[in-house]
Amino acid sequence: MTDPAGGRQNLGLLCFYPHRAVEARLFAALAAAGFDDITLAQGRIAARIGPGGTRLTDLAAQALVTKQTANHLVDQLERAGYVRRVPDPTDGRARLVQIAPRGEQVVALARRVEAEVEAEWTAHLGEEATAQLRAALERLREVTDPYR
């Protein structure tokens, strides 16, 4: 949206459009590959699971949802075979959510789609502009992402 005076779009929206395009492309590729049972909300939770696993409370905080919502989404992902819950080796009372083998297939496909999109965007923008965009967004992350 432009501002009411007809000026340029704000940076938040300009960052949102490409994000939405990647997300749509990714979910279309997942559906085409037979992973059509993952919802956007589930995907946003799953995308925050670290390599060794992540506690549910951390997933909820990073996704900006309640612990109950995160638990519900993880339950759904677990039933579908995308994630598993395992004991946290650093705290016997806690559990970690980890990507399960079926989920690893999804992650691999997602990485391929992301690489394709980045290659297309680089072809459109050029190497230099893409490098500048990446550098600027990485700098913005310093002040916008408390979980970096």
Look at residue 26 and tell me whether its pLDDT is greater than 80: yes
Look at residue 5 and tell me whether its pLDDT is greater than 60: no
pLDDT for the residue 70: 97
pLDDT for the residue 112: 98
Look at residue 1 and tell me whether its pLDDT is greater than 80: no
Instruction: Give the C-alpha distances (Å, rounded to integers) separating 91 from 56, 103, 118.
Output: 14, 25, 39
What does the chain look like in DSSP terms, one character per residue? ---TTS-PPPHHHHHHHHHHHHHHHHHHHHHHTT-TT--HHHHHHHTT--TT-EEHHHHHHHHT--HHHHHHHHHHHHHTTSEEEEEETTEEEEEEEEE-HHHHHHHHHHHHHHHHHHHHHHHHH-HHHHHHHHHHHHHHHHHH-TT-
How far is the first Cα of the chain from the last one, in angstroms, to the nearest whole number? Answer: 28
d(CA 75, CA 7) in angstroms, rounded, equals: 45
CATH class of 11-144: mainly alpha
pLDDT for the residue 119: 98
- 126 class by beta-carbon count within 10 Å (0-12 exposed, 13-18 middle, 19+ buried): exposed
Q: pLDDT tens-digit profile of 81-116?
A: 999 999 999 988 899 999 999 999 999 999 999 999
- Map out the domains of the chain as residue ranges: 11-144
Q: pLDDT tens-digit profile of 48-68?
A: 999 999 999 999 999 999 999
